[in-house]
Amino acid sequence: MMLLLLLLVTVGGGVLQSTVVAAKSVGGVTPDVPLILTVLIALRHGPEAGCLAGFVAGLLQDATGGALVGVQALTKGLAGFGMGLLVGRFWVTNPLVQVPGLVLLSVAEGLGRFLLLQMFHYPAAFGELMLHVILPQALYNGLIGTLCILAEAAYELIRRRTWL
């Protein structure tokens, strides 16, 4: 059952990324919804689930984006695995850990993707890519991640509330 839910969330995030989010960019920058979902899944279900979610989400992004197939799958899979490993080592249930972790992981994933693409002679300057793509997307991911965490907290508060 969890595998089906994991697959549904991952595919849904990929579809959301390629449709709604692509049309709602701010200054040409869009959040990376599959990475956000990968981080949230990894924090709740561990490194294996995070790796699987990241790999599937990245593969869907590669297939729909027209880029080199496998680059996003590899970087998002590694990001999900890495974030899942932090569960036992840090207090990751605290939003003050989750949001900065998401921002830092977004930067690391962007750098990893850049380095992989450099192996195939991708024509982009590091400074330009960092300033205009990776850092703005990481901050946008942090904002969307914060909204997701607040929405989840509000849902839990409403669900636990007892009515007299």
CATH of the domain at 149: 1.10.1760
pLDDT tens-place string over residues 4-37: 766 777 777 777 776 777 677 777 788 888 888 8
| pLDDT-based confidence at residue 135 (cuts at 50, 70, 90) | very high
Determine the residue type at 76: K
| pLDDT-based confidence at residue 138 (cuts at 50, 70, 90) | very high
Query: Which of these, 72, 39, 44, 42, lies nearest to 58 by C-alpha position?
Result: 72
Residue 68 has pLDDT above 80, yes or no: no
pLDDT at 92: 65
Residue 67 has pLDDT above 80, yes or no: no
pLDDT at 162: 60
pLDDT at 156: 81
Give the integer Cα–Cα distance in Å for 28 and 18.
14
Q: How many domains is the chain built from?
A: 1
- Give pTM, 2 decimals: 0.77
Residue 1 has pLDDT above 70, yes or no: no
Q: Is 122 exposed, middle or buried (0-12, 13-18, 19+ CB in 10 A)?
A: middle
pLDDT at 24: 73
E strand intervals along 7-114 = none
pLDDT at 163: 56
Average pLDDT of span 127-153 = 87
| pLDDT-based confidence at residue 153 (cuts at 50, 70, 90) | confident
Query: Looking at residue 162, what DSSP letter applies?
Result: P
Give the integer Cα–Cα distance in Å for 67 and 159.
42
- Can you say how many angstroms the Cα of residue 145 is from the centroid of all Cα atoms in its chain? 9
Query: Which of these, 49, 61, 162, lies nearest to 113 by C-alpha position?
Result: 61
Average pLDDT of span 73-99 = 82
Give the domain extent around 117.
2-160
| pLDDT-based confidence at residue 81 (cuts at 50, 70, 90) | very high
Long-range interactions of 62-67: CB distance < 8 A, separation 24+: 64/14, 64/18, 65/18
Average pLDDT of span 111-131 = 85
